[in-house]
Structure formats: C-alpha cells, structure tokens
Structure 1
Amino acid sequence: MTVDRPLAFTSAGLRLAGTLTAPAGPGPHPVALLLPGSGPLDRDGNHRRLPLAVSRDLAAALAAVGIASYRYDRRGVGASQGRFLRTGFHDAVDDAAAARDALAAAPGLAPERIFLVGHSEGALTAAALAARGADVAGLVLLAATARPGDEALRWQAARLLPTLPRPVRLLLRLTRTDLVAKVARNHDRIRATRSDVTWIGGQRLNARWFREFLDHDPRRDLARLHVPVLAVTGEKDLQADPDDLAVIAATVAGPVETHRLPDITHVLRRQPGAPTLRAYRGEVRQPVDPAVTAMVTDWLVRQART
C-alpha cells in the first residue's frame, strides 16, 4: 500500500507543487526525485498535446518495490507558479536542487538515500545537479545525450529526416532544403537573441532555454559524477543517440552501468518496425515498457540496500 500526498517547495521565490508517493509505514524510505523531459510538462510527465505519463508510470513502479518518489509540475504548469517560456535550462537545475532539499527535510524519507531519475532533458538536469555537488546516492539517466545541445539537435534532425512522411521529404528535395543546415541556421538566430522569448520560423520559442541548452556540454557534468549511475537508452530512440551510452560509460568518474534496449523509443515504449515520431500517439496509450521500469527499479533496490 502506498500513500500520495501533496508536497510543495520554493525555488527562486516561486511555489512549485508536486506529489510525494511513499510506501505505507513510518520509514525512513529511500526516495527518487523524478525529473521530466523538455517542454511544459506536469508532475506526471504529461504535455497537453501528448500524455507521456513517464513520471507517473515510474512512480507507480517504484512504489511497488517500496521506494518513495517525488514528481512536480514545472514552472508555469499545473499548480506551479512561474512562466514556462521564460524558464532557462539552468533554472530547471535550480528547481531540482530545491526539490532535493525539500525531500531531505521531509519526514519519513532517508536523506542519505535520495536518488535522481531523469528522462531526456531531465537526465541532463540530474547530471548537472549532481555535478554541482548535491548530496545524492545515485542517478538514473533515461534517454540521455552525451554531447553539446546544438550537436544533439543536429543529430536529431538527421535521424528524423528518413522518418518524415513521403510528401514532406519530397517537398524538402524539391525546395532543396537541407534540414540539418536549416536547424543549424536557426541555432545561430537563437544565439543572436537577448530576450527570454522570441519568434523563429513562425513559432514562439523559449530563447533563453535554447541559448543555455545549445551550449551545454553534459560531458563536463558526467566527468564529475562519482556516485553510481545507471544509463538506459532505447535502440529506436530518435532524439538521443544510443551510441552516447558508450560516451557516458567512458566519462562518468564513478561506477556506471549502461543498457541499450531493443525496440524501445525515446518515450520509453516498445515500437516494432522502423521508428517514427508519428507512432508516439499510439505508443503512449500503453504504460512505460516493463523492460524499462524493471531495469530502473531493480537497480534502485540494489543501490538502496548498499
């Protein structure tokens, strides 16, 4: 039996709200701070256009093995204060640090057994927070990149190109549009901005976040990690190169375990056949794949016992 209770904390003068899921009983329980991917995601890991529910599914899996977890609404989302479009990458790390401190002070939790579990951007947030010297017992990096942000986004563009609908690919050929070069030009335009928010290609973007993300090299953070690390990426990930697992293994200073899961995509579900973003809407009707949750829970149980 588990108990859900609201838990809020303050970061940069803003009240951020979340849910603490804990096993029944007095504890103290080990706890995982769940850090979501990019975008205006709520505490369950849902975007209004795509209900990923990654954090919700991880929380349920962790509760089943007796590990508490905490997940929260990002700035300007759900019950949290702030404005998401004006939130930088480093602000997200500050928020995670404040959340970790709130867990360390919460009754019924073991402050010496706080783990960071991050998905996509959340994995970068976890590594950056631990590299700052935050007192954590270990990290789980799901679908993490291990290259500068601008390079990761160019890789995504090249990887996504063959998966685009045939009419779109035909239009790109007819207009002689180099998608990767176009992405790089947009990066230059974003870097030239000074405001928090800007318009690029008819789309309103969080320019501050992009400027910080484009120049962020996670390898610097990985090299400062001395706590145990588990890194898991799907073979069919279109947004994080599975080959980056080798970089993570070679760069992390402490004990590291990496796994490349067949047929698993960036949203941590199983996708048969050739990977495509269009399949995400169908995939998210199912929970996070059991192969992923089992790997995360098994590793955390082992670490919590040490």
Structure 2
Amino acid sequence: MKRTFFCTAASLLLASAAAAQAPSVAGLWQGGIQVAPTNELKAYFDLKGTAPVLTGSMSVPQQTGKSFPLSSVVVRHDSLLLGAEALRGRFAGKLSADGQQVAGVWYQNGAQLPLTLRRTTEQARAAAAPRRPQTPQAPFPYQSQNLTFPNKQAGFDLAGTLTLPTGKGPFPAVVLVSGSGPQDRNETILGHQPFLVLADYLTRRGFAVLRYDDRGVGQSKGTFKGTLTTDFTTDAQAAMAYLRTRADIRPHQVALMGHSEGGAIVWQTAAQPGGPDLAVSLAGPGLPGDAVLLRQQKDIARAQGADSAAIGANFRLNHALFAELRRQPASLPAVELAAKLAAVAQQQPGLAAATAQQLAGIYSGPWMRAFLTSEQASYLAKVKCPVLALNGTNDLQVAADENLPAIARGLQAARNRDVTTRALPQLNHLFQTDPAAKADYGNIEETFAPAALQIIGDWLSAHTGAKGVAGR
C-alpha cells in the first residue's frame, strides 16, 4: 500500500510540474489556410484557460460569422494540438521559443495543409472581417414574416421568410430555391447572403418573395442527409402550393427561381402539374449531370494552375468512373457499386488505392449517383411556362457556353415560345463580377451583380406587371 501511494503521489507531482512548465497559449491566434493557389482562408483560434484545463473556439469570418467550439485543446511540452470535431478537422503544431508563433499542419477531410498561427488581437480580427456592402440593412420599406408551411407529401414543415411589398395586394410572388448542400434561407456562403439580397431587391420592385431553409437546416424539419434532388423538388412544390392559398398572393403569378442545383429543381417542378407560372434558372444545368461535373473539374483545375497532363489524366479517370456508373443498374446497392467503381479507378496508372476507394465512395452516394445520371433534357421537354435562364461567362461550376445552349435545345423540344437565355459577361457561379474567373467568392465584396438583379427584375415585371421601385 505504501508503494502504491508513493507512485501515485509522484505521478501527481510530475503532472503538476509539467503543467507549470507548459507555455501559456491563452489568447487569440490567427493563421492562413491555403485551400487553393488563389484562395486563402483566415482562421482564428480563441484559446482560454491554463494547461492542462484549456478550451477554445475556431472561426473563419470569410465563410461564416459563427464560431465553432474546439473539441480538445492540448499542450504537450512545445506542441499544441487542437481538435475541431464539428468541422472534422484538427491542428498539430510546434510553439516557438518566445510563445508567439505555432508552426504546424491543419488536417481536414484527408487534406494536410500548412498552417502557422500567430498571436493577434480582437481589433485585428474585426478589421479583417470581409465587407459585404450589399447586405440589406433595416429599416426596410416592406413587411417581413417568419413562417412555416407544410410539405404534406414528406410529412413535415419547412420554415422560411416571406417578404411582402407595401401597398394593397394581391402581389405576384417568387419562390427562391437554393443550390446543392445544406443551405439556409439566405443561401449563406462565405459571408454572402445572395437570397437575402435577391429578396430585398425583388420585394422593393413589387414582388412577394418566399425563401426557406432546406429540410433539416435551420428551423426546417425533416432530414437533409440522403435527400435527392427529386425530394427537394417536393419542397419547392410545397412552397408554391402554400403561397397560392394566401389572399395576398396572385395564385397565377407565382414564379420559381432556382440557383445551381435549384435550377434543376425548377426544371423538374415546371415539368409537372401545378408547376410555376414563371421559371427562372440562375446558373442552372442543362447538360446531364456527369457532363456538368467533367467540365467543372476541368475549369476549376485550370483556374488553380494545373497543367494539361494533370487535367487530362483526371478527365480520363472520372470519365471512366462515370461510364461505369451509368452501365450499372439503378437497383445495384451502393456498396456493390462502390466496389465496381474502385476496381475501375485502380486501373488508372499512378492512382493510390486509398484515393480510388475515396472516389468510389463519393460517386456511389445517393445524391451524387442521382446527379451524375440526371438528364435535364427529359424535364426541359415538358416545360411550357415562360423561362429566363441566366449563366455567367466566368462560372467555373456550370459552364455557360455548354449549359445555356442545352437549356435552349430542351425548351425547343417543348415548343416553348417564351424563352430568354443570356450569358452574362464576367460573372461567376454566384453572379459576382469576377474578371479573373478565379471563383474566389469570399474575397469578392460584391454579393450579386446589380446588372443581373436588374435583368431578373425587368423580366419578371414584364411578365407580371409589377411596378415596384428598385432603388434604396
């Protein structure tokens, strides 16, 4: 018993001594994560306490105003280890002798990115926050209602915001549908809120605008994981059906406006009974999903400085994977599909087995599988309502020069005579002015090009007779 007590006491003394010798890391730290050759994200780590009891949070103002709690903060001798489970990331670095710098690596989703942290101040963080001059500020010359509406088919409620012009209704209305990934009602990305900007502009021009959180996001019920584009289409249908029950909305002047994947949702919705009276696609696809992604991969790689050989090798790899995916029946279980895709990938020279498995897992997932095999032409051929389709010439995600002609061809098959397609010069996927075509969304102050807003507003007004005032 005496020996046990002595060992325990000695361990406690050693632990206390180590804690006492551990350098203080409390305070605000900042470093740049180079996520692409032309895109650096400034990350801030706010650490509190004294070793071994340390806590902290992480923020990336270019992406969001939120802070994420760190799951672990550990100091071992001259090493700093940070865990960020909420972001599936971690940091490991070595403290400098003066305790003013930590040189290390940020690990996230298989990537290993150099990251050097340096002490900074709250004032410096506030000064570095990106400017978003187009974000609307109160007071607003219109009404705003937070509400819920049912998706009866799916069995849950969606939550959103409806803005209503001043004056006597009923008003023509617009439903905004977001792009891929879990999006809130403002389609918030890198500090930008394009749907908030759109809603503000259109409401000032005399339109009621409904924007809503994706299912499983924000205040909306339901589950986002595993949801397909066809499921999101039922959410858009529910939004339109709700608006048509309101006395302050013109039931035969309800437009559906979708961005990116939201454009595909517009086509699917407009091809069915009870669809929109007007359809607006913003950077929406017209090509099959696999063709969209192959072009996207090439354009982004070129913008990031990849050479022709690397771009060609990547094209051959993914073209082979997509061809194999299309050869397999839709009923094939995801696990079996992943195995077949991995086998194809491993035939490519120089590709690591782990990379092959990772690609196979991504492409066999429910949403990606459905997207890659999607055929927009089958929906476009059934769209009879007036259509406005806009894409930016500097869009690296949905190329205007291929997708806009495909949209036009599909609508010709429907014998649709009221179609406007426009490629907007120098605009990127978010409709920001981006002359260099680098898709550096977070570092561009503009949220939505005013010229694009005017084109949308003018087209909607011409089709509805709305006579609001666009100016602020």
> Which TM bucket (shorter chain)?
0.7 to 0.9
Q: Which runs of 5+ in 2 are unaligned?
A: 1-140, 339-356, 467-472
Map of 1:282 onto structure 2: 443
In structure 2, the residue matched to 1:245 is: 404
Q: Which residue of 1 aligns with 2:255?
A: 115
Q: Which residue number in structure 2 is paired with residue 257 of structure 1?
A: 420
CA distance in 2: counterparts of 1:147 and 1:215, whole angstroms: 11
TM-score by length of 2: 0.58
Measured in 2, the distance between the counterparts of 1:137 and 1:177 equals 43
| 1:1-306 pair list within 5 angstroms | 1-11=141-151, 12-47=154-189, 50-164=190-304, 166=305, 169=306, 173=310, 178-184=313-319, 187=322, 188=324, 193-194=333-334, 200-201=358-359, 207-243=365-401, 244-252=403-411, 253-254=415-416, 255-273=418-436, 275-277=437-439, 279-283=440-444, 285-305=445-465
1:225 deviation in Å?
A: 1.2
Would you say the 8 A contact 2:142–2:163 is kept in 1?
yes
d(CA) in 1 for partners of 2:364, 2:172: 35
Contact 2:184 2:217 in 1 (8 A): yes
What secondary structure, in the 3-state scheme, does the structure 1 residue paired with 2:256 have? strand
Structure possessing the higher radius of gyration over alpha carbons: 2
**Residue 33 of structure 2 corresponds to which residue in structure 1?**
none
How many Å apart are 1:19 and its aligned residue? 0.5
What SS does the corresponding residue of 1:93 show, helix, strand or coil? helix
Distance in 2 between residues matched to 1:222 and 1:111, nearest whole Å: 23
Farther-moved stretch of structure 1 (249-258 vs 230-239)? 249-258
Q: Once the two structures are aligned, what percentage of the paired residues are identical?
A: 31
More strand by share: 2
Amino acid at match of 2:438: T
Residue 186 of structure 1, CA deviation: 5.5
Quote how far apart the aligned CAs of 1:193 are.
4.8
In structure 2, the residue corresponding to 1:178 is in which secondary structure?
helix
- 1:46·1:53 contact (CA, 8 Å) conserved in 2? yes
DSSP 3-state at the match of 2:255: strand
Deviations 1:208-232 (A, max 9, x none): 2112211111111111111111111
2:405 partner amino acid: A
Are the structure 2 counterparts of residues 76 and 51 from structure 1 closer, same or farther at C-alpha, using a change threshold of 3 Å?
farther
| Structure with more helix by fraction | 1
CA contact (8 A) 2:334 2:364 kept: no
Instruction: Give the deviation of 1:206 after TM superposition.
Output: 8.8
- Report if aligned partners of 2:179, 2:260 keep a CA contact under 8 Å in 1: yes
Write the distance in 2 (CA, Å) between the matches of 1:157 and 1:147. 15
Quick one: which amino acid aligns to residue 429 of structure 2? H
Poorly superposed stretches of 4+, deviation over 6 Å: 202-206
In structure 2, do the counterparts of structure 1 residues 15 and 200 end up closer, same or farther at CA, with 3 Å as the change threshold?
farther
CA distance in 2, matches of 1:114, 1:233: 22
RMSD: 2.5
d(CA) in 2 for partners of 1:200 and 1:271? 32
Q: How many aligned positions are there?
A: 294
Give the distance between the partners of 2:285 and 2:275, measured in 1 at CA.
23
Cα distance, 1:189 vs structure 2: 6.7
Q: Secondary structure at the match of 1:85?
A: coil
Alignment check: 8 A CA contact 2:237 2:275 kept = no
Q: Distance in 1 between matches of 2:314 and 2:193?
A: 30
- What code does the residue aligned with 2:247 have? P
How has the CA–CA distance of structure 1 residues 58 and 10 changed in structure 2, closer, same or farther, with 3 Å as cutoff?
same
Contact 1:157 1:183 in 2 (8 A): no
Question: 1:264·1:271 contact (CA, 8 Å) conserved in 2?
Answer: yes
Aligned mates of 2:397, 2:220 — CA distance in 1: 27
**Partner Cα separation in structure 2 for residue 25 and residue 140 of structure 1:** 26
Indicate if the aligned counterparts of 2:395 and 2:429 stay in contact, CA closer than 8 A. Answer: yes
